[in-house]
Amino acid sequence: MRRQKQSLWGLNCLIGGVLSLAACATLWAGPPAEELPAEGPLLPPGVLGPPPVHGEVSYPHGSFEDLAADRWDRSYSSVINSRLWVGAEMLGWALRGCELPALVTSSPLGTAAELAGRLDQPTTSALLGPDDVFDQMRPGGRLRAGLWWNPEHLHGIEGSYFAISGNDVNFAAAGTGDVILARPYRDAASGQQSALLTAYPQLLDGEIRVHADQEFSGAEALYRGVLLRRGFVQYELLAGYRYLRLFEKLETSESLASLDAASGFPADALIDRSDLFQAANGFHGGQVGLQGTWRGTKGLSLVALGKIALGATSVQFDADGSTTVSELNDADEYVVTQAHDGGLLAQPTNIGRHETSEFATVAELGLTLEYELAPEIRLQFGYTLIFWSQVVRALQHVDTTVNASQLQSGVLSGPARPDLDLSFDDFWAQGLRGGIEIDF
């Protein structure tokens, strides 16, 4: 249900963006028809005459066409010898989150070891999960650069790269006789809730660390070509290549010391247990789009764009886990006496590298307000929405049903759980941005 609500919310954002673009198109129409001459000519830069010399301040303002031509003239006359431009933006984006399952629990002192940490017990408290993660707004940045092929800025190329800082989830807890810590799971054989102890008085001293991370980035290489300049409005065709990357990881590690053989390990043994799940999504595709610019008064401009890319999402999913047991030898040194694949949620039944790919689309909508601080400098503030149709989320593929026969030796007896069956979901990112663009 939560995923459906998030998908609907992302779709609403996409529809809202389309309506915003429609509203901008109305603005692009310029003044009412009665203010325009009966035969309003098109005004591509090539027919505006030679641009004024840089530094001149005399511009015609006698008619609507003259005023419109003047605004486009100034857009390139001030940079007649400067076809290169660069831009930098600060991003504040929110990304579609996902659910982190219950990973660490605790019970009151005195709880029986066989009941401690189980999610079906009323006295059990969850220390980490279940909860939505990766959905908070976070900072990022984008760099852009381009080169116009002619002084009128009719044709050019543009490249850009953005990255959103990782939204880490970090958790740590330890118990040395004063607390009960456990890792909950559902037993595949009985179908009942169970738990694997991390710390329990007189049985185990231990600590657990959990780290989850998400990274989102992308790049573009585009051709930009002016389709039309009329009045205060310019339309540009955008076409080229698009790349996106979404990386997510969840890892847990435990360090235990057995105090009694009743713990399931020899007394004085040291146990290290770990799980790892990570998904790397990469999109490669061709992209087309349209950008419209409306030049207003007092150096203000409004820019709206829409782009769509068709391509494929390639996925590399890794699951790994291990358990090692070390005991004292005759020289009072710890040596590894047991080692096998599998921690708790990563077992031989789901461990390995899994690769797949799927046809995908990426859509982007953007709205930007520009202010010309100086002839070669523009300040920008805007909104962006990116929708990616097919990704694999790491946390959605953590199976919390476990066949406990694998926990001590890694040898399976009974149902093959946890399992792994990769499935795709949609993903979106949206937020505000502000930056500067400079001509050289």
Residue range 418-432: average pLDDT? 96
Residue 148 inside a domain? The answer is: yes
Residue 310 inside a domain? The answer is: yes
In contact, 290 and 18? CB cutoff 8 Å: no
Q: What is the DSSP string of 392-428?
A: --SGGG---EE-TTHHHHS---SS--S------EEEE
Residue 33 inside a domain? The answer is: no
Question: Rounded distance, CA 346 to CA 353, Å?
Answer: 12
Question: Rounded distance, CA 169 to CA 175, Å?
Answer: 21
Residue 52 inside a domain? The answer is: no
Residue 49 inside a domain? The answer is: no
Residue range 279-287: average pLDDT? 98
As given in the structure block, the two tokens for residue 171 are 């958790």
Say if residue 54's pLDDT is above 50.
no
**Kind and range of the H or E element at 18?**
helix 2-28
DSSP-derived pairing of the beta strands 401-402 and 180-187: parallel
Task: Please give the share of the chain, as a percent, with pLDDT higher than 70.
Answer: 82
Categorize the per-residue pLDDT at 44 as very low, low, confident or very high, splitting at 50, 70 and 90. Answer: very low
Please state the domain count of the chain.
Answer: 1
As given in the structure block, the two tokens for residue 384 are 């962006």
61 vs 267: which has the higher pLDDT: 267
Residue 370 inside a domain? The answer is: yes
Residue-level pLDDT at 167: 73
Say if residue 30's pLDDT is above 90.
no
- What is the rounded average pLDDT for all residues in the chain? 86
Residue 226 inside a domain? The answer is: yes
Residue-level pLDDT at 72: 55
45 vs 247: which has the higher pLDDT: 247
Residue-level pLDDT at 77: 45
Question: Rounded distance, CA 384 to CA 289, Å?
Answer: 14
Print the domain residue range for 134.
2-28+59-382+401-439
Q: What Rg do the C-alpha atoms of the chain give, in angstroms?
A: 30
Question: Rounded distance, CA 207 to CA 140, Å?
Answer: 33
Question: Rounded distance, CA 291 to CA 307, Å?
Answer: 9
Q: What is the pTM of this model?
A: 0.83
Place of tokens 């003044």: 31
Residue 38 inside a domain? The answer is: no
